[in-house]
């Protein structure tokens, strides 16, 4: 695959360059970085997608939610399949991506790790099986440079759990301003930022005299890059449509 890397100057862009360099049949043919940062990549780096005149089989996006409108405009003109790995997407962003998917293939995931997407399924199964006998809390930890909080992955975990509970839960983000007892319908979501933590997510089910915790820890950004490459290989086989990790894992 020939790949345009949107966000090539960031941490994930650098990891993607490392992963792709190890593969014989894939290569990054262009990078996009608004600051013009170049990490000794053997490919041209453009400051915007509009300036990029390189053809590719797929665009992989690890830029930022603020760059989504410009990216969609580019994709509408070029009809290149896209893997959207950017977190912190707004409802407006998601609506625009699903509209784009009517004419172009779009793969979107808040977290590209296959492992985190597996625990999302496990957490949903646990929520359904345990019912309202267990309180549910989600705790996520990331490095001190991460901008969005809570993480897109934590919200995706919460949505999966809430869907399994028929939408009866309401989200509570921290409890500093809530001086009252916990309600049974609460789903607590908490964010920790510090150091160089790549990514940790715990879904805690607290019952009477027992606690069940479903956890995932990423020790390297390599897992996200590897997942993005799997997603890219999957999406280039499509002509249009909106796809997620559920589709990739199930082979749909």
Coil, helix or strand at residue 81 = coil
Report whether 33 belongs to an annotated binding site: yes
Please check if 103 is assigned to a binding site. Answer: no
Beta strand 45-46 with 199-207: parallel, antiparallel or unpaired? unpaired
Q: What is the DSSP track for 32-61?
A: E-TT----S-SS-EESSSTT-----SEEEE
Asked whether 69 and 48 are in contact (CB, 8 A), the reply is no
The verdict on whether residue 64 carries a ligand-binding annotation is no
Answer yes or no: is 95 a known binding residue.
no
Q: Which residues are the active-site residues? A: 142, 146
Tokens in use for 129?
């099986």
**6: annotated binding-site residue?**
no
Asked whether residue 152 is marked as a ligand-binding residue, the answer is yes
Residue 196 annotated as lining a ligand binding site? no
| CA dist., res. 145 & res. 152, Å (int) | 15
Closest CA to 30 of 78, 97, 94: 78
Q: Is 87 annotated as a binding residue?
A: yes
Q: Is 112 annotated in some ligand binding site? A: yes
Q: Is 239 annotated as a binding residue?
A: no
Distance, in Å, from the CA atom of 155 to the CA atom of 148, rounded to the nearest integer, reads 11
Burial state string for 105-129 with b = 16 or more CB within 10 A and e = fewer than 16: bbbbbbbbbeebbebbeebbebbee
Q: Give the annotated binding-site residues for (S)-2,3,4,5-tetrahydrodipicolinate.
A: 143, 152-153
Could you list the residues known to form a binding site for NAD(+), using ranges: 7-12, 33, 85-87, 109-112
List, as residue ranges, the binding site. 7-12, 33, 85-87, 109-112, 143, 152-153
């Amino acid at each position: 695959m020939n790949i345009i890397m949107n966000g090539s100057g960031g941490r994930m862009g650098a990891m993607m360059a490392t992963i792709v360099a190890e593969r014989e049949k894939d290569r990054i043919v262009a990078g996009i970085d608004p600051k013009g940062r170049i990490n000794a990549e053997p490919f041209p780096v453009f400051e915007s997608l509009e300036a990029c005149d390189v053809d590719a089989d797929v665009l992989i996006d690890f830029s930022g939610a603020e760059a989504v409108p410009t990216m969609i405009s580019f994709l509408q003109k070029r009809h290149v399949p896209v893997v959207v790995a950017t977190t912190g997407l707004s409802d407006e962003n998601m609506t625009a991506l699903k509209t784009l998917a009517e004419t172009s293939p779009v793969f979107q995931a808040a977290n590209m790790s296959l492992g985190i997407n597996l625990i999302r399924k496990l957490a949903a199964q646990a929520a359904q099986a345990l019912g309202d006998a267990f309180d549910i809390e989600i705790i996520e930890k990331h490095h001190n440079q991460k901008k969005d909080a809570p993480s897109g992955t934590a919200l995706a975990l919460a949505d999966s759990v809430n869907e399994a509970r028929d939408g009866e839960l309401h989200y509570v983000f921290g409890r500093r301003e809530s001086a009252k007892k916990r309600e049974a319908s609460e789903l607590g979501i908490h964010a920790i930022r510090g150091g160089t933590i790549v990514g940790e997510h715990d879904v805690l089910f607290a019952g009477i005299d027992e606690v069940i915790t479903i956890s995932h820890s990423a020790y390297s950004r390599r897992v996200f890059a590897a997942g993005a490459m799997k997603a890219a290989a999957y999406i280039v086989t499509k002509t249009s449509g909106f796809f997620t990790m559920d589709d990739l894992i199930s082979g749909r």
